[in-house]
Structure 1
Amino acid sequence: MKSIKWISILCAIMLIIAILPLPIGYYNILRVVIFLGALFVGISNMGKTYWFITFLLIAIIFNPFLPIYLKEKSIWIPLDIISAICFIIIGINISKQKENQNQESSDESDSLQRDKIFNK
């Protein structure tokens, strides 16, 4: 779970930076990182069909092996922003899930401590 959060943050930051006019080398690296990140996040969310399909589409768009050439930066900018937002949302959802799990486990340990007191 923690690795998905960090991958999501990295991908979101790289996509936001991609809005700037940069050398072609950055965009080549971006394609590889986003493709791998989207595959990893998508596969991690296979149980959630909506997120799986969303990240599969992101992986297809940024695919470095059979690249989609949209030619104009004005077309790529909205795709970069939308993709970054998706990565941010999934990162936030993972953080919330982790907080809920931590809270549930602390509630469980509290009840176990209370039981230990009663048992003595």
Structure 2
Amino acid sequence: MREFRRVMRLITTICNPQEASAADLAGLYHQRWEIENTLDEIKTHQGGHRLVLRSQYPDGVEQEIYGFLLVHHALRDVMHHTAHQAGLDPDSLSFTRTLRIARRHVTDQAALSPLTTQPSPDSHRP
């Protein structure tokens, strides 16, 4: 029986195989796409296709960007813990679905007031 091997070709400017082996470069190429997918999650799905940073000052823009990164990290952390509890690979969970669920939940929570709705006993005094 004949065995077939998967042959991969990678073009690089690194000419010395001692600097990086073909297997290392192939692995890094895969990781590059993981980073591209993460950027897509943040820019396209989390921020939306019409994302405009609202701040007009550099410090505010930096704060908004950190906010996006923190929300992305929090969602990915929730996904990791959820997958771990279910015995799944975290990469098998959908970021966009998790984002939709989080948005629905946050919107529901935003409709609730942290204040009590009943008048305080002091409000009936003359």
TM-score, length of structure 1 as denominator length: 0.34
TM-score, length of structure 2 as denominator length: 0.33
Name the structure, 1 or 2, with higher relative contact order (CA <8 Å, separation 6+). Answer: 1
Which structure's CA Rg is the greater one? 2
> As a proportion of its length, which structure holds more helix?
1
